[in-house]
Structure 1
Amino acid sequence: MKALLLKIFNGRIISPWWIMLIDLMLVSNAFVIAYVVRLNVMLPTYSVWEFVRGGTYVILIYGIAFYIFRIHKGVIRHTNFSELRMLSFACGTALLVLLGLHTLVGLANPDYAMVPRLVLMLHFVLVVFFCFGFRLVVRETYAYLTSNKGSVPTVIYGTGDLALITLEAIRNDKESPYQVIAFVDDEPSKWNMDLNTLPV
């Protein structure tokens, strides 16, 4: 199972269009949740047709925004907070367009049922949370699968600057099989001390 997941991550089997599809599924799920939270689905005026119609144009607008901002082009196994910023811009743009359409249609035809504004705003928050959360899960899963830390216990000789640089290099190299467990030094005055949470 681990080998298959690594093959998927490293071989780029997942195309950007699959990422777009997953994002749109998350958008649709967020819409359902937002509608349930806002309207409680028990109102006598609840219409399945209004729900489906509203969900369709909301998903379409978000899909266009994601495409324009190239959200699906990122390498999700290396997601960082710049991805969150771009995702927020894309979702914010979609929200503004939807609110603008809501206002224009309301002025042109007050009797036309639109998605409530509160649903749109709650949906925006949920989409950002779901889409970025999905990317974080993928990133952390990849980091876990590629981490070999702990397989080779390692001791660093010395406690000077070079020893600390070596420690940081080992810790920052995700493919390193070494786990530093202690420092050793020939100066008795440094024995039984802690250096970067490790014993000397």
Structure 2
Amino acid sequence: MKSVLEEYKCGKVRLVTMLEDSDDPVVKTVQPSFKTDRKWKVTEAIDEANECLKMKEVIGQTQTDRKGLGSSSVKWWSKTKGKEKRDMIIDEVRQKEDFKRIQKTVQQPQQGQWMNWDSGIERSLIWKDIWQMAPLRISSLIRSVYDLLPSNANLVRWGKKDDSTCPLCHSRRQTTEHVLSSCKVALPQGRYTWRHNKVLQELASVISTAKR
């Protein structure tokens, strides 16, 4: 799911760079005024992106992931032009917006716990899917990611309750993780696999009926 603010900024950057790189000399010399937020100027964002791309070329290719050396190709600023250069500027603006989001997230110890997930499965959401979801489902999905569901541990943190103990096992704090996968009473009762088992029962019933 993409940020609306990020798409707004990239759209402005794309428009300005297309006018500046136009083959028409009249269009290229025109300097229209672009209405943006007072805290963000599109021309300043483009200049900053250009400087960052030039600096990256001076530094050279660096490794930022676990892939082997030479496994990815690099586009250099000085050797690109036209649409390819515009795309590099837009990607640089996106990276800056992503860095701002990460910077804000690491300052939130509760909502930013998702950054410590190593084995989490990424779920791709688009705005079309969100518009088709029920409001309560969207709320539950977002709050589960940021660990803001009304578990006993969170209710104690918010001053709504005095006891954070799990009402089933009475041995551990009832956090979101505990409710979803760690309760020693819910596990043997089959609560975690109940819906999955019900689906399998229906499939087994259909298959057995078809064999008769």
Shared fold by TM > 0.5?
no
Alignment TM-score, normalising by the size of structure 2 = 0.24
Instruction: Point out which structure has higher relative CO (alpha carbons under 8 A, 6+ apart).
Output: 1
Alignment TM-score, normalising by the size of structure 1 = 0.25
Higher helix content, 1 or 2: 1
